[in-house]
Structure 1
């Protein structure tokens, strides 16, 4: 039950303003929402997966035809400061470690602009791990079951080609 509430709350955070919203769809661990825009600018499409204890969410987003990752942390004690820069190490299965930086966009989430090749790595993998390092140097890891990403990313790839 807590996982369902967390997914609903995170989807509300990672989705932009809505015009025509479809009901969320489930693909294994993934929850997917698609919201079209009546202005033809691509709307917002979000594929979200939570880590095993539902304390961190990883979302692959296509917002107005721009691809990004959003990482949300559910820490009731600490909130992020908008604009704070976080360092992220990213690894799919046993692949190469990729380094990114992302800025906090609200009190619980930061965003990382990515190339389609990064989404493709997630799509082709079984497990994705991120190491999140705060500006103070505190870090922790979160691992996500990313099987069935190909099905989850289908809506995304209409406006943000991944393949």
Structure 2
């Protein structure tokens, strides 16, 4: 990392404390859950039931935006070298050991690491350069395509049902 020690410490501390980071590879930025381990952020994905990692490729670069835990605004942005870890390597085992402790709601918790080795990618995002001075411009972007839908109108009979229940009490 070619940044001053204070910026390096900020990157590590902010990324370690943040549950999500915004990562932009070759495409749009995505929110990814991660683990900070041995000087880098580690993510797992691109498999069934796991987070997508589009635009992140082995040997490529990425831009990581970390939000402030208390205020929610951008705290630091850093560039990363992306490296895919080989399943079964000591580095992979150490990273996966940390990642599996942070994975919530896994459908197959006891066999999760085996599935990750077969079907997923574990990426190491190693910091290169940090930027703490940021412009005040908005980074708002249109939402990515998703299967999620907006809320529909309340069925006509629902208010009467709810009123009946409250009168019985």
Q: Same fold (TM over 0.5)?
A: no
TM-score (norm 2): 0.33
Higher RCO, 1 or 2 (CA under 8 Å, sep at least 6)? 2
TM-score (norm 1): 0.34
Higher relative strand content: 1
Higher relative helix content: 2
The structure that has the greater radius of gyration is 2
